[in-house]
């Protein structure tokens, strides 16, 4: 058909092993490619666990740093998305654990004490003691 343009099929996107190989070779644009491909999925995962936008962004940033610094440990037994997801999950769950352990303020009469959930002042507050042990 005269004047008709033939469409050229897009080049196949590189697979996980190829992306990792190129990233380990420090090719400049491959990190952007990996992040573009997986960032939305990983952010949603962090956000679902943490239920806080800013905390999810921080967790994802830390997870990216962890992933790229340990990229040589990617064995390829699972998909890159699965490996990255596990790193994000671990980071998000670690942040939740820290938040639970974080000091809470308990009021004892006129004094305030900062205690962990397992701290003795929490127990002493339940037993009516006026100060932390």
Summarize pLDDT for 25-73 with one digit per residue, the tens: 999 899 999 999 999 999 999 999 999 999 999 999 999 999 999 999 9
Per-residue model confidence (pLDDT) at position 133: 45
The domains of the chain are located at: 16-100, 103-133
Model confidence, pTM:
0.68
Q: Let me know: does 91 contact 62? Beta carbons within 8 Å.
A: yes
Per-residue model confidence (pLDDT) at position 13: 82
**Is residue 8's pLDDT more than 50?**
no
Q: Which of 26, 24, 9, 126 is nearest to 80 (CA)?
A: 24
* Residue spans of alpha helices (H) in the chain: 16-24, 30-50, 53-69, 80-101, 120-126
CB proximity list for 1: less than 8 A, separation 6 or greater: none
Top-tier CATH class for 16-100: mainly alpha
Confidence of residue 9 (pLDDT cuts 50, 70, 90): very low
């Amino acid at each position: 058909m005269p004047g008709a343009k033939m469409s050229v099929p897009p080049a196949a996107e590189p697979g996980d092993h190829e992306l990792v190989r190129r990233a380990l070779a420090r090719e400049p644009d491959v990190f952007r490619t990996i992040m573009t491909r997986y960032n939305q999925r990983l952010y949603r995962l962090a956000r679902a666990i943490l239920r806080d936008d800013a905390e999810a962004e921080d967790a994802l940033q830390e997870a990216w740093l962890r992933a790229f610094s340990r990229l040589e440990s990617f064995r390829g037994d699972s998909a890159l998305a699965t490996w990255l997801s596990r790193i994000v999950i671990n980071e998000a769950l670690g942040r939740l654990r820290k938040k639970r352990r974080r000091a809470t303020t308990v009021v004892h009469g006129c004094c305030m004490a900062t205690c962990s959930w397992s701290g003795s002042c929490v127990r002493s507050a339940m037993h009516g003691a006026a100060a932390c042990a």
